[in-house]
Structure 1
Amino acid sequence: MSAVAPRPKIVKRAVHGVLMLDKPLGLTSNDALQKVKRLLRAEKAGHTGTLDPLATGLLPLTFGAATKFSQVSLEADKGYRATLRLGITTTTGDGEGEILEQRDAIARTLDLDAIRAACEAFKGAISQLPPMYSALKHQGRALYELAREGVTVERQPRNVTIHALDIVDWQPDELLLVIDVRCTKGTYIRTLGEDIGAKLGCGAHLAGLRRTASGPVSIDQAVTLEQLEAMDDAGRLAQLTAPDSLLGEWPEVELSNDEAGRFLSGMRRRVALGDLPQVRVYGQMPRAFLGSAHVAGGELIADRLLSPTEIASMLMQAA
């Protein structure tokens, strides 16, 4: 009997940048990350906060030097398109759970004005109770794991802000309400949907969820796994945006080559700027992203720096 030939070992490499993935339904964020990491043969990779397996849409993935700035995307405001099924509440707050109560008759009496008024009530600063079916941890375990065992634990309300909540579509025959939401990090859209349903007096659950934005990045910039798999190596690398793409809303500071060298060594530099909590810093000739910093008392103070090796690798990758 002939021996089975061993699978060729994947040779990993230094890859730097951010890939905007359009995550498919049913895949965890980590599963999606590992698939893309293998396709890129990347040494180092991370994601910018989990997206529920039942949600699709924008999942920025960071590679190499860009992993140092994952927290920026995690802290950023998010955009979602949510589909709510009015008239039915479920054990999980989404379509996967068992029906708790059905009040279709009440839902069918609603007109668009009543729905719009209910949505308006949730704009601005609100308090949310995290759902049991969430990735929030309790004593080292995700709440959804406990919920599946029938265990309910006490949760503390959290304050979030709904910057915008717009009605995209109302389908009275199907009792489906589609909304666009722009909110701060940590907002539970599942809970928002349930709360809107409660406000309307008919109940609701989340029938579909798609993340459309994270900070300055939108779903329009994203690529699917299927598209990536169909590309050659050069095509996949071309999908990467520079590590500073996650910092696109921050002011920028450009330093001379001498000043850039001192900054990269961790030295504070004098700048003619007022206090700024977040800036992105570049060197000249060739122009290169150096890292993030803040300005206080006329001094540029480094927060997260790239190494000279990372900068050289990024310049070579961009060439």
Structure 2
Amino acid sequence: MSAPRRIKLNINGVLLLDKPYGISSNGALQKARWLYSAAKAGHTGVLDPLATGLLPVCFGEATKFSSYLLDADKGYRATVKFGAVTTTGDIEGEVVLQRPVAFDRAALEAAIAAHTGAISQVPPMYSALKHQGKALYEYAREGIEIERAARDVTIHRIELIEFSGDSAVIDVLCSKGTYIRTLAQDIGEMLGCGAHLTALRRTTTGGFRLEDAHTLEAIEALPATERGGLLLPVDVLVAHFPAATLAAGEAARFCHGQAVRAQENCETMLRFRVYHADTQEFLGLADATPQGQLQPVRVMAAQAAPK
């Protein structure tokens, strides 16, 4: 007899997940989705299997607003090994070049300073970037090198946490699209010895912190009825926008995609997170129009919006 079909639930919210080592972001997402029996889920930025740490998972209506985390700055703690270059830029690749390590802390700090601010990076071959519909890492595994254009990214801050001669631990705050493996390799090249990552942990993204994240094991250990208590509300993804409220009638029209007038005076061309004035439930995002109305941009589904 086949097992009964698992019922999928319409769950809306954000789970701060601490992704474990050795599993892909999608694998972690699917495990979290299974634990919550969620009908719909998505994550907010890929972490390599080597990398661990903060991976916000969006359930249900939260997926509509996940792009705001994809574009957010991110923080990492990276462990860098000097003196060896690998095929992948991390510990999982084959060593292709070894050179002596002959620099001091002052030289390392100077190299770090040189890689802070607006810089250009060439994306690594072992990445999920697509070329003609195929991920670059697939070409790399076939021994094919694809020419990649350099990309502009911003390294807001690099802090040297530990240094032991041939390895270092650094904290990095950077813009979206930054490859920490490439940053480590470039610093190693400037020091004349090469480098690769031995560990990488995402610590922040979009204002969220790793300290507030939950492991898959901890979630699974909870009774199913208590797991919802770990979810953050959908509007945490857009908390950086100013708020506006709508009376009941305007709220209903807004949820059907119509431009409406808010209870507050909303400045033209600003984006707002919109709430029902009576229930304080989140309705979606809107842009203010020259006519002083709020034009819906993203709206919570009817079943998720207040009645």
TM-score, normalised with respect to structure 2: 0.94
| In structure 1, distance between residues paired with 2:130 and 2:199 | 24
Change (3 A) 1:176 1:235: farther
Structure 2, unaligned stretches of length 5 or more? none
Is 1:23 the counterpart of 2:19? The answer is yes
Equivalent of 2:151, from 130, 146, 158?
A: 158
Query: How do 1:203-282 residues align onto structure 2 when only pairs under 5 Å count?
Result: 203-270=194-261, 272-282=265-275
Query: How far is the alpha carbon of 1:230 from its aligned partner?
Result: 0.5
Which residue in 2 is equivalent to 1:40?
A: 36
The 3 A distance-change label for structure 1 pair 167 and 295 is farther
- Whether the aligned pair in 2 keeps the contact of 1:217 and 1:246 (CA below 8 Å) is no
Q: What is the CA-CA distance between 1:23 and the residue it aligns to?
A: 0.4
- When residues 81 and 105 of structure 1 are mapped into structure 2, their CA distance, relative to the original with a 3 A threshold, is closer
Q: 1:183 corresponds to which residue? A: 174
Q: Offset at 1:126? A: 0.9
* Partners of 2:161 and 2:22 in 1: CA distance: 24
The alpha-carbon deviation at position 49 of structure 1 amounts to 2.3
The aligned residue for residue 194 of structure 1 is 185
1:99 aligns with 2:74: no
Distance across 1 between alignment mates of 2:240 and 2:142? 43
Question: Where does residue 88 of structure 1 map in the other structure?
Answer: 84
1:235 shift after superposition: 2.1
SS at match of 2:126: coil
Cα deviation code 1:128-149 (max 9, x no counterpart): 1011010001111111111011
Q: Which residue of 2 aligns with 1:170?
A: 163
> What is the aligned residue count?
304
**TM-score computed with the length of structure 1 as normaliser:** 0.91
Q: Specify whether residues 277 and 24 from structure 1 end up closer, same or farther in structure 2 by C-alpha distance, changes over 3 A only.
A: farther
1:299–1:162 Cα change, 3 Å: farther
| CA–CA distance in structure 2, aligned partners of residues 79 and 105 of structure 1 | 27
* Residue equivalent to 1:301: 295
Displacement after TM superposition at 1:111 (Å): 2.2
Which amino acid is the alignment partner of residue 187 of structure 1?
A: T
- The structure whose residues are more often helix, as a share, is 1
Label 1:27 to 1:85 Cα distance change in 2 as closer, same or farther (>3 A): same
CA distance in 1: counterparts of 2:54 and 2:192, whole angstroms: 32
The amino acid of 2:284's aligned partner reads G
Q: Distance in 2 between matches of 1:30 and 1:51?
A: 9
